[in-house]
């Protein structure tokens, strides 16, 4: 069965410091991996995705994520955090087999960037 | 261009009443999805529409939940005889095709008293 784990409920970081939000996954076929961000009272906004190719994926707002097949991880990173990055972040996975379309989401990680 | 829109943004209802939630997908997107987000949790898949194919209803939690879609446009999610455990944010997403990136609407926050 497919699953996603975000082991940290909350991540705290000072503005200007690098940030990492962790995600590990389990899927039968090749994984399609996604990161979404949710600001208060708003829907999910797409940040980036990994389908195939380069393990380092660059996305919106300076975020990037690294796919690590051996560790089944897809951690979200940013070199220098901004206070405006404070939000709820969701990792999601889809099985890469042709017939698959369901996204399986992690429980979310709240990122708090302090000034 | 316009994103996915949902209405109402908030809905408060009494236990036992029926509610109808609406989703307008991005124009030209053939695939449409409904998810439920309970407080402090991730998203749960509810139902999927793709063109004229039969919808995948495997995520609907009970027969009180149903959804329809008119062609490749508007979708409505109906919850009959609402219960307090139905309180959640209901999110709609659409994608250009089945395996393309899903783009989400702002959600409808449902509170059942």
Residue ranges of B 4-33 with Cβ closer than 8 A to chain A: 4, 6, 31, 33
Model confidence at A100: pLDDT above 70: no
Question: Chain B residues with CB inside 8 Å of A98's CB?
Answer: 99
Cα B75 from Cα A9, distance rounded (Å): 33
pLDDT value for B41:
81
Nearest CA in chain A to B97: A101
Q: Shortest CB distance from B101 goes to which of A46, A100, A107? A: A46
pLDDT value for A52:
86
pLDDT value for A26:
92
pLDDT digits (tens, 9 = 90+) for A14-70: 999 999 999 999 988 889 999 999 988 778 899 999 998 889 999 999 999 999 999
Q: Shortest CB distance from A105 goes to which of B40, B43, B101? A: B43
C-beta atoms of B103 and A46 within 8 A: yes
pLDDT digits (tens, 9 = 90+) for A57-86: 999 999 999 999 999 999 999 999 999 999
pLDDT value for A98:
57
pLDDT value for A42:
76
CA distances from A16 to A44, A47, A65, A66, B93 (A): 25, 20, 18, 20, 33
Cα A32 from Cα B33, distance rounded (Å): 17
Give the contacts of B50 (CB within 8 A, at least 6 positions apart).
A101, B30, B31, B32, B98
CA distance B93 to chain A (A): 9
pLDDT (tens digit, 0 to 9) for every residue of chain B, 113 residues total?
Answer: 589 999 999 999 999 999 999 999 999 999 999 999 998 788 999 999 998 888 888 899 999 999 999 878 899 999 999 999 999 999 999 999 877 889 999 999 999 99
Cα A52 from Cα A30, distance rounded (Å): 9
Whether B70 and chain A come into contact, CB under 8 Å, resolves to: no
């Amino acid at each position: 069965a497919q699953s996603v784990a975000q082991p940290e409920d909350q991540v705290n970081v000072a503005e200007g410091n690098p940030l990492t939000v962790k995600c590990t996954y389990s899927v039968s076929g090749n994984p399609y991996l996604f990161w979404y961000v949710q600001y208060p009272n708003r829907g999910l906004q797409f940040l980036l995705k990994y389908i195939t190719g380069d393990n380092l994926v660059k996305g919106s707002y300076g975020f990037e994520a690294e796919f690590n097949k051996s560790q089944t991880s897809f951690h979200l990173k940013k070199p220098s955090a901004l206070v405006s990055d404070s939000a709820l972040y969701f990792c999601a996975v889809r099985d890469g087999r042709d017939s698959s379309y369901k996204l399986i989401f992690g429980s979310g990680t709240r990122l708090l960037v302090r000034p | 261009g316009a994103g996915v829109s949902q209405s109402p943004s908030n809905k408060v209802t009494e236990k036992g009443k029926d509610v109808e939630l609406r989703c307008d997908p991005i124009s030209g997107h053939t695939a449409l999805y409904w998810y439920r987000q309970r407080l402090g949790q991730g998203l749960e898949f509810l139902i999927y529409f793709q063109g004229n194919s039969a919808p995948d209803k495997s995520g609907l939690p009970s027969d009180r939940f149903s959804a329809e879609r008119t062609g490749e446009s508007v979708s409505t999610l109906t919850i009959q005889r609402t219960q307090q455990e139905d309180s959640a944010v209901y999110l709609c997403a659409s994608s250009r095709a089945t395996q393309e990136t899903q783009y989400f609407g702002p959600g409808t926050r449902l509170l059942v008293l």
